[in-house]
A and B are shown apart, each in its own frame.
Chain A
């Protein structure tokens, strides 16, 4: 790439080229493709905003509509590969290289296109890692971002879904890059300035409001007894045991079940005020009963959640909100919070191997990881102690080290059912991710959480505390010992598993004083979406697809 394309002259050339389509900074949706054809040069590094939540969908369509003879060879850098257009541009020849983080709904197509060679992936990152590279070696020349509204000066209001916008704009605008924002409406004065207008060069008034996926909404009606049992074990055997106050939850039903039994089972265990009070978490609807029962002190959010706007706005004592009364989310800061300020990450995965490595990549599906590898890693840069952090390290120690030199440990808990739907075993000899990497000739298998970061594996059969394992063999048997009736589980050394259980490395429900038959849906503080609405005082407004009223 020549210097000219990244210098100040390049920016003014791009701005001049785009000015023809604009009235000041404002561009009509119908002119969006013409604008992009004018400001983007072949070979540009382009960031299109979109993650697992909000999407710059109008600009994605506009980009996919560009003439590949004019716009081609792009290197796309983006949090999420989510919309069909995100991949269409590779098939049409507009783009040829991709660095990204998350690709939930498009995971299968990504895998297929990688196989066909129509898509070259630099790497699958964690969000924070990708953001970091925006400032080092993946700085965009053009950023296509999304906001709720803008004024004529380009000041942007992102509403509750601020998410990645400040990070993307920061990396682009201060390095001579051009920023195009799509907004739902142009207003006289924005309710709150989330992005100052001097960092935004063009504003496209979108034809319809941008899309947001309600990714963090879990219908309590679908929580199973097994998930409740696992939630009970988690609360009693981990939250209570370590006194975890600062934490992050994944998005699965297992962690939703934990949120839903805080006001019931958690209360019964006397854990209120002692655990789960400070969160790096999106505004999960399933957390409403815990918030309303006084469990939660504060929550910082990566993004918002569809339908939670009014509720969050009504609880500024808990959530971070702006003077306009709405949530201020920020993915980069919240990821940092999850990495450094939380004592525990607990989340699900699709596959776990005998070393405890996990991945959501399965044959034919490269889903990406989003924030999990970052949340679910032990940060070696952490320097502040906390009881949970120290206790975890103490368990991992054989007692011969100098206590004052002992680095703490973040609790990284994988909460998984031994079989997924269709009897697909969660526990495997070799991760599909390794096979995929071998077949595709990758330098690195797409592992979500490395085994050496994992401290506990929790299944319906019990909790394996890997901190207490002293040898690789113990570790393997501890994992086999909670792997249920999968082949891995049935292949356990029964004697050794019994020994591990005696030592408390493996703990079954009965070892924790939990009767399996008590795991009942009556433990859920909310059993339905409607219950959540009631808990919220009528403020939570679930998307239509989650309603049965």
Chain B
């Protein structure tokens, strides 16, 4: 194990939405659309006596990645858990509709969300569907949509479904992708079903390493903007088309997963079945060691 040093690159997990975009894209290349000065805030939060954010928790705009034009969106997981409210979601929908028309080299979605904002639940839920449909349209136009998951809030609820609609996904160890949150499962089916306070359990069930190993994500990145950038660059040229062939392959991929792992009790059982040696140690592996492991094992994930 390499000795840690005191001076390291900033953490993706800790960074703000704006800081992530600034570090991910080419230096000073980002231009925000409908920025904070436009003050397009949620009209609904005041009904609940909740404070608003000038950008409603999402930053959208254009920039370049290795000199290629991209459209990008970043959610701010610390504001209302990065949840999809009406304005927040519409900014992403608009960005995607623009992408279908303008055909940039890629669309990058920097997830950091607990799902639908429940104070605006009907608008948020409908918008999840609008976003998913818009992603499909972008992909049909031949533009890869790449999701990056490594924020505090992960990609939960509708965010998990949107992630599953992207052509490619990058995830870090800290990143979580799921539909139902640990607390929700525990509330509905008891602590025996899922102990939400057992964070090791949370991460091995929903976390980045598990998703990367089982094909729920296509690339694994260390917790830095540099690593996410490198992974995004690798993936945008290898995004699958959105067509019958891809969808049939995904059907086969997901069927195989159910068949192979449908009775697994816990993540390490699945990892063992995937040929991971010492699966009990996966959680403890450093980023480099895990990337090596991933290169030699793990499930196929081409079709999505």
Note whether A and B contact each other (Cβ less than 8 A).
yes
Residues of B contacting A264 in the complex (Cβ-Cβ under 8 angstroms): 6-7
Q: Which of B1, B4, B11, B14 contacts A289 (CB 8 A)?
A: B4
Are the C-beta atoms of A534 and B6 separated by less than 8 Å? no
Known: A544-B199, A544-B201, A547-B203. A521 touches B4 (CB 8 A): no
The one of A267, A534, A545, A549 in contact with B4, judged by C-beta atoms closer than 8 angstroms, is A534
The answer to whether A535 and B4 touch (CB under 8 A), given A221-B14, A549-B207, is yes
Residue A88 is within 8 A (CB to CB) of chain B in the complex? no
Which interface residue of A292, A527, A538, A548 has the most chain B CB atoms within 10 A?
Answer: A548
Q: Is the CB of A521 within 8 A of B14?
A: yes
Contact of A526 among B3, B4, B173, B197 (CB under 8 A): B4
The B contact surface, by secondary structure, is loop
- Residue-wise interface mask of A (100-134) relative to B, using a CB-CB cutoff of 8 A (1 in contact, 0 not): 00000000000000000000000000000000000
| A521 closest partner in B (C-beta) | B14
Q: How far is the CA of A537 from the CA of B2 in the complex (A)?
A: 9
Q: Which residues of A contact B174 (CB under 8 A)?
A: 548-549
Residues of A within 8 A of B197 (CB): 544-545
- CB distance A548 to B1 under 8 Å? no
- B4 and A548 contact, CB distance less than 8 A: no
Expressed in whole angstroms, the minimum distance between the Cβ of B135 and any Cβ of chain A is 28
Contacts of A521 in B (CB 8 A): 14
Q: Mark A515-543, 1 if CB is under 8 A from B, else 0.
A: 00000011001111011011101100000
Proximity bits, B201-239, A CB within 8 Å = 1, else 0: 101000101000000000000000000000000000000
Asked if B199 and A545 make an inter-chain contact with CB atoms under 8 angstroms apart, the answer reads yes
Q: Tell me whether A546 and B199 are in contact (CB under 8 A).
A: yes
Q: Which residue of B lies closest to A533 (CB)?
A: B284
CA distance A525 to B197 in the complex (A): 27
A527: B residues at CB distance < 8 A: 11, 14
**Cβ–Cβ contact B203 & A549, under 8 A:** yes
B173-214 to A contact mask, C-beta < 8 Å, 1/0: 110000000000000000000000111110100010100000
Q: Interface code B1-30, partner A: CB below 8 Å = 1, 0 otherwise?
A: 101101110110110000000000000000
Residues from chain A with a CB closer than 8 A to the CB of B209 are 549
Report chain A residues within 8 Å CB of B6.
263-264, 267, 289, 293, 525
Would B284 and A538 count as touching, CB distance under 8 A? yes
* B41 on interface, CB distance cutoff 8 Å: no
Residues of B with C-beta under 8 A to A544: 197-201
Q: Tell me the bound Cα distance from A527 to B207 in angstroms.
A: 19
Question: Which chain B positions have C-beta within 8 A of A528?
Answer: 11, 13
Q: How far is the CA of A533 from the CA of B207 in the complex (A)?
A: 18
Bound-complex Cα distance A110 to B164 (A): 52
- The docked-state distance in angstroms from the alpha carbon of A547 to that of B10 is 20
Supposing A267-B6, A534-B1, A537-B1 touch, asked if A549 and B11 sit within 8 A by C-beta, the answer is no
**Contact residues in B for A530 (Cβ distance below 8 Å):** 173
**In whole angstroms, what is the CA distance A434 to B208 when docked?**
52
Q: How far is the CA of A527 from the CA of B284 in the complex (A)?
A: 17
- List which A57-87 residues lie within 8 A (CB) of chain B: none
State the CA gap A173–B13 with chains docked (Å). Answer: 54
User: Nearest Cβ in chain A — how far from B175, in angstroms?
Assistant: 10
B286 at interface, CB cutoff 8 A: yes
> A547: nearest residue on chain B (CB-CB)?
B199
State the CA gap A525–B1 with chains docked (Å). 17
Give CA–CA (A176, B227) in the complex, Å: 67
In-complex Cβ contact of B10 among A289, A522, A526, A549 (8 A): A522
Q: Complex Cα distance A221/B199, Å? A: 15
Q: Known contacts A531-B4, A538-B284; is A549 also within 8 Å of B173 by CB?
A: yes
CA distance A534 to B14 in the complex (A): 18
Residues of A within 8 A of B198 (CB): 544-545
Complexed CA–CA distance, A546 and B199 (Å): 7
> Please, which residue of chain A has its CB at the minimum distance from the CB of B11?
A527
Distance between B230 CB and nearest chain A CB, rounded to angstroms: 20
Cβ of B31 < 8 Å from any Cβ of A?
no
* B274-290 at interface with A (beta carbon < 8 Å): 283-284, 286
CB-nearest residue of chain A to B175: A548
Q: Which residue of B lies closest to A541 (CB)?
A: B284
- Please give me the residue from chain B that is nearest to A534 by CB atom: B4
Question: How far is B6's CA from A267's CA once the two chains are assembled, in angstroms?
Answer: 10
Rounded to whole angstroms, the CA-CA distance of A528 and B209 in the bound complex is: 17
Q: Which residue of chain B lies nearest to A520 when distances are taken between CB atoms in the complex?
A: B10
A445 to chain B, nearest CB (A): 37
Separation in Å of the A311 CB from the closest CB of chain B?
Answer: 13
Closest Cβ–Cβ distance, residue A400 to chain B (whole Å): 47
Contact A548 B11 (CB under 8 A): no
Cα–Cα, bound, A522→B10 (Å): 7
Scan residues 490-537 of chain A and give those whose CB is less than 8 A from a CB of chain B: 521-522, 525-528, 530-531, 533-535, 537
* Chain B residue, CB-CB nearest to A532: B4
Q: Which A residues touch B286, using CB under 8 A?
A: 534
Smallest CB-CB A-B distances: 4 pairs: A264-B6, A544-B200, A547-B199, A525-B6
24 inter-chain pairs at a CB distance below 8 angstroms, sorted by A residue, are: A263-B6, A264-B7, A292-B3, A292-B4, A293-B6, A521-B14, A522-B7, A526-B4, A527-B11, A531-B4, A533-B284, A534-B1, A535-B4, A537-B1, A538-B1, A544-B197, A545-B197, A545-B198, A546-B199, A547-B199, A548-B174, A548-B199, A548-B207, A549-B283
